Amino acid sequence: MVVFVSALAQDADNTMSSKGVFSVDADFLNRGEVRNGGLILVKESDVASFIIERTILGASYEHGILKTRVSAQHSGTWGSNEAGALSIYEAWVNINTKSGFFAKIGRQPLSYDDQRIFGADSWSMTAMSHDVLKLGWEGHGHKIHLFGAYNQDVRNIYGGTFFSGGIQPYKAMEALWYHYDVPSFPLGASVVFMNTGMQNGDDASNTTVFQQQIVGSYVSFTPKKWSAEAAFYYQFGHEEHGIPISAWMASGKTTLSPSTSVRCRLGYDFLSGDTYLVTPQAGGLGLIRHDLVRGFSSLYGSHHKFYGAMDFFYVTTYVAGFTPGLQNLYFGTTWAPVKKLTTDIAFHYLATATQLKNAKKSLGHELELSASWKFAKDAALSAGYTYMKGTETMEVLKRTGNDHHLHWGWIMLTVTPTIFKASAAQTL
């Protein structure tokens, strides 16, 4: 901290007469969806069509070593008389010295490596952010970030420590991330350690904070014509009810680029699961006490990016709240036939990680088709269709109904203009 303050004072002296830059930008997202399946079955028919929107309006100011940003986010469903979700998405101040030290405080998205553990989750209608203080240094191929958060309910600011959940569910969170890029060689590696404190109960009966940890690494190798990446994370500690955790995940992916317009990928994800999973019949109630949680939770990552476009896994929960884990074997091809047009086709084979009683591991096959056309500088139109052939195991675990043919189609318009930008001489 002393080093950071010293570097800050030195850089402040060198930026007295620099110009400040003020800008206003927006992110408009409108998506229409038609689905038959794709979510847990509530009624006999699970067919639905709707249009949803998300709007982010932000303002940024940068002057010398100082940068600030504030943005508001609204999301809702077209035609609904229910109030949409309106919140502050970003509200942060960043001080970045020329020597590489920085401090960033306030509400901000956290996005690291392949976004498996920390990601902005921009696909969802409420992009993810955290209230944190982040300190770090970057230089000579090294990046080290240390950040932490402490959350509190408004009603308890005059006494009490219980937190019932806000923009994030944790009471407290601390993390250390380190990344190194090898000089003159296309290899990068990261390690991360995170501690999360969770509470369970209410402000009158239970304020115990149970701590859980994740430690792991991400490695990427990116030569010109192909690339490879791998990750491993181990989760331990105690979940919010005090039950011990011992869970892990591993992933690997390789990408081949035979030309500038074609990229082919092949990958595999394994996320550990609970050994004993309650799978009661529809309308039944199943109870079991676990003495150890083996189901891995990827916590604050961009889940839609990894486990199939229908978002059955790690976005919605399984029956009874426990997870049998997941195996995700996938391959796909991205092709840009003309400038500004990109198409993609992908296939997933999905299965549980653990063997269930009276049920097979296989969850089904998923085929995904999508295309994106950037028809203007700040605007893109995209569309997609996903078909999943589920299994009886999928029906039991996710309540998808006895018709195992699941369909989901969507079309989306994204517009991200810079509305205003100006600079003026300022005095720091």
∠154-129-386 over CA atoms, to 5°? 125
Give yes or no for a contact between 8 and 15, defined as CB atoms under 8 angstroms apart.
Answer: no
- Which CATH architecture does the domain made up of 2-425 adopt? Beta Barrel (2.40)
Closest CA to 409 of 3, 32, 62, 17: 32
Report d(CA 291, CA 370) in Å as an integer: 43
The predicted pLDDT at position 428 comes to 42
Assigned token pair, 337:
């036939």
What region, left, alpha or beta, does residue 320 occupy, with left being phi > 0 and alpha being psi -120 to 50 degrees? left
The predicted pLDDT at position 425 comes to 60
Report d(CA 296, CA 43) in Å as an integer: 30
Assigned token pair, 194:
């995170």
Host H or E run for residue 69? strand 66-77
Closest CA to 407 of 39, 78, 3: 39
The predicted pLDDT at position 188 comes to 97
Assigned token pair, 417:
């203009």
The predicted pLDDT at position 281 comes to 45
Q: Is this prediction's pTM over 0.85?
A: yes
* Alpha carbon distances (Å) from 226 to 112, 129, 258, 418: 22, 33, 8, 34
Host H or E run for residue 390? strand 379-390
Report d(CA 351, CA 364) in Å as an integer: 7
Beta bridge partners of 244: 238
Report d(CA 112, CA 164) in Å as an integer: 27
Report d(CA 251, CA 298) in Å as an integer: 12
Closest CA to 59 of 12, 82, 27: 27
Q: Which one-letter DSSP state was computed for residue 125? A: S
Assigned token pair, 31:
């998506």
pLDDT digit string (tens) for the chain, length 428 residues: 655 556 655 665 555 456 799 999 999 999 999 988 655 555 555 678 999 999 999 999 999 999 999 999 999 999 988 767 889 999 999 999 999 999 999 999 999 999 999 998 878 777 789 999 999 999 999 999 999 999 988 877 777 788 887 888 899 999 999 999 999 999 999 999 999 999 876 665 667 899 999 999 999 999 989 999 999 999 999 988 888 999 999 999 999 999 999 999 999 999 999 876 554 444 444 555 667 889 998 889 888 889 988 888 887 767 666 688 999 999 999 999 999 999 999 999 999 998 887 788 999 999 999 999 999 999 999 999 999 998 888 877 765 556 678 889 999 999 999 999 998 665 44
Q: What are phi and psi of 89, to 5 degrees?
A: -85, -40
Q: What are phi and psi of 344, to 5 degrees?
A: -150, 140
